[in-house]
């Protein structure tokens, strides 16, 4: 079976929901509209097309356009060795999709990351909370309207009370004479650094 065969089956079973099949370099991308139908399409892909792996869920900020968000699901069938991509569009006014974590448990982590970085909520998610930023952080860092220099926030000083071990990173070496062993951070902390 090829990706085009998978796409054809989805279009036949869901003619008014799955559209816009685009093939590029042997990969097929299908658009699911409306976004509330994503779990139905994913259930069919898992059960009937044997897409047993959800490789990734990603999100795109189409800042200045409507709908603002594009959410992309990367599926894979181990049995058929076929990759399939589904995408859907979410309006900024809604900013919510139904979860697919009941179909693939790995979706829990992907959806949490999208919520944390983009602010798109997933209804029915068993544990939708931030995964990288701290609870209470008011911004979504991967949105295009988030400034590159970041935004000031009140971070408790408790988080930065002690110097970080191996400050500068564990793989940062000092310039200068001597061999690489003498320049590595562990050698500097032991007082063995060469001048």
111 shares its domain with 183: no
61 shares its domain with 98: yes
- Total domains present in the chain: 2
**Cα–Cα dist 111/176, whole Å:** 47
| Most distant CA atoms of the chain, gap in Å | 73
Tell me if 68 sits within 8 A of 61, measured CB to CB: yes
42 shares its domain with 97: yes
146 shares its domain with 190: no
**Cα–Cα dist 14/16, whole Å:** 6
Read off the CATH number of the domain in which 117 is found: 3.30.460.80
78 shares its domain with 114: yes
Tell me if 111 sits within 8 A of 101, measured CB to CB: yes
Looking at per-residue confidence, does 106 or 5 come out higher?
106
**Cα–Cα dist 86/65, whole Å:** 20
Is 157 contained in some domain? no
19 shares its domain with 103: yes
166 shares its domain with 118: no
Boundaries of domain holding 140 = 3-152
143 shares its domain with 176: no
148 shares its domain with 166: no
- The 10s digit of each residue's pLDDT in 154-170 is 665 544 444 445 445 55
135 shares its domain with 166: no
Q: Which of 125, 97, 90, 80 is nearest to 40 (CA)?
A: 97
191 shares its domain with 136: no
- The 10s digit of each residue's pLDDT in 105-137 is 999 999 999 999 999 999 999 999 999 888 888
Question: What's the pTM?
Answer: 0.76
């Amino acid at each position: 079976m090829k990706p085009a065969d998978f796409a054809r089956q989805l279009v036949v079973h869901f003619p008014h929901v799955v559209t816009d099949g685009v093939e590029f370099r042997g990969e097929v991308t299908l658009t699911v509209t409306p976004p509330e139908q994503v779990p139905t399409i994913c259930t069919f892909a898992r059960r009937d097309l044997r897409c047993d792996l959800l490789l990734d869920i990603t999100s795109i900020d189409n800042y200045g356009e409507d709908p603002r968000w594009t959410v992309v699901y990367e599926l894979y069938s181990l049995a058929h060795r076929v990759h399939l991509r589904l995408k859907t569009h979410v309006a900024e006014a809604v900013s919510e999709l139904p979860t697919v974590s009941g179909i693939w448990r790995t979706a829990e982590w992907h959806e949490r990351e999208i919520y944390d970085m983009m602010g798109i909520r997933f209804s029915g998610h068993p544990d939708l909370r931030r995964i990288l930023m701290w609870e209470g952080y008011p911004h979504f860092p991967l949105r295009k309207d988030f400034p590159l220099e970041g935004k000031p926030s009140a971070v408790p000083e408790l988080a930065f009370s002690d110097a970080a071990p191996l400050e500068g990173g564990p793989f940062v070496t000092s310039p200068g004479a001597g061999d690489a062993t003498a320049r590595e951070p562990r050698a500097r902390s032991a007082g063995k650094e060469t001048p």
